[in-house]
Amino acid sequence: MRDPHQLYSTNSRAMDFLTGLCRTTTAACRVDAGGLFAAGQPNVSGGPLYLPAARSGYPAFWIRDFAMAVDGAGIPTPDLAHAVRWTARHQAEAAADTPRGGHIPAGSIPDHINADGTPIYFPGTYDAHEQGPPWRELPAFDGAYFFVEMLWAWFRREGAGVLREEVHGRSLLERAGFAFLMPPVADDGSGLVVCRDGGRGVGFGFMDSVVLTGQVLFPSLLRQRAARRLADLLRAVHAEDKARDYADQADRVQANLASFIHPESGLLKAASGIGGQPDVWGSAFAVSEHLADAALRERLARALLALYRRGSLVWRGAVRHVPVGFDASATSAWERMVAPGFGERNRYQNGAYWFTPLGWLYEALHAVDPGAARELACDYLRTLEEDGAGGGDTSGLYECMHPEGDYRKLPWYLTSIACPLASFRRIPPAW
């Protein structure tokens, strides 16, 4: 087996390889206006849209995946602007109920938008008539926060003028605030996102098959970040009082993150109710995005390092949701899944390994042990090399995988390269 630091003797060669692979994957996920989505339907949006994966699977525009890929994939500014406008056009103007018992509050951002322009607010379907349970009673919460992230990214490139652009009579900045109000928040003043009985929604789409109740970690982290982004946007238009309000909301979330501590693992748990397993992704994200305060970041980074050294987090450079050894039972990583079809252990979100959060873990490890971070980066690079990245029908860029049964799901997955690459650009590995 060749070592990646021998294959790529300089940082620039390794980064050139990853950048080229990301460019190839991004281009393969791009569907021009009138071009065909994976299901053979034409893109009617009037501009380019990006699918979560190239060649097959997920034939719709997913707001979450796109927002997460923007920086690492180097999405051109005109394409980003089109995605923001297209998403804004499909924000729910008024509340509505679905035939299956779901409720779409005003301000909701779609989970995904079909090729024909139909907004789908709930995971698990492409049919507007099938939205709702068992995929929760409310739309996915994270769309609101990722819409804010997309607008903030556009603002950073082109300035405050983009915030005043109107869609259906509301400025984009107003629409971002409208979206921010949709996800329910605990009434204890903590600012944490909550999933209540009869009013549950998916907090984060990469965990949409997992049942989580009570105060929920990942959407709370996204809410904190979105509040800080909105504060930035409001300062840019000289709305200082509103900016201070959003900054205060972000501070309240940060001050209450320690309530998620899972004592046995040292990580943050995914939820305060059902699904209270330690959350590797959320803990790493809290560190890499500086959403936890300095003391908690240090504590989480060291807990992640200890679990990494024990072999509980990573396989072939990909990262599990729940650390090995902390599964809810012998048959499931999580306490409860949304449907029996998602209940098989070590498959998909129930124990498989993913590349998407690798960069967050890399940054968290780098904060306390740069050598461990380098090992992780090399493991990822080695996996892509061994799997023939950049050629053939598979790239090694699987959505997720697991050694049991040689499980692999969906190659050419965009966030599997774009998210790690964004972290490697922020903190270049010593390959």
Mean predicted confidence (pLDDT) in 266-292: 98
Cα–Cα distance measured from residue 105 to residue 57, given in angstroms and rounded to the nearest whole number: 29
Least confident piece of the model among 5-9, 101-105, 106-110, 132-136: 5-9
- CA dihedral sign, ordered 243, 245, 251, 253: negative
User: Would you state the pLDDT for residue 1?
Assistant: 35
Q: How confident is the model at residue 389 (pLDDT cuts 50, 70, 90)?
A: low
pLDDT of 6 strictly over 70 = no
Percent of the chain clearing pLDDT 90 (strictly above): 89
Dump pLDDT digits (tens) for 207-226.
999 999 999 999 999 999 99
State the average pLDDT over residues 286-311: 98
Query: What was the pLDDT predicted at 177?
Result: 98
Give the span between the Cα atoms of 209 and 231, in whole angstroms.
32
* Distance (Å, whole) CA 328 – CA 335: 5
pLDDT number for residue 385? 86
User: Mean of the pLDDT values across residues 93-121?
Assistant: 97
Q: Is the model's pLDDT at 2 over the cut of 90? A: no
Angle between helices 63-73 and 77-89 (to 10 degrees): 170
Across residues 21-48, what is the average pLDDT? 94
Q: What is the mean pLDDT of residues 220-246?
A: 98
Taking the C-alpha atoms of residue 349 and residue 394, their distance in angstroms, rounded to an integer, is 21
* Residue 30 amino acid letter: R
Q: Please give the average per-residue pLDDT across 149-169, as a whole number.
A: 98
pLDDT score of 5: 38
For 274, left (φ over 0), alpha (ψ -120 to 50), or beta?
A: beta
Residue 7 has pLDDT above 60, yes or no: no
Least confident of 220-229, 299-308, 389-398, 404-413: 389-398
**Band of the pLDDT at 99, cuts 50, 70, 90?**
very high
In this predicted model, which residue has the larger pLDDT, 229 or 12?
229
Average pLDDT, the chain: 94
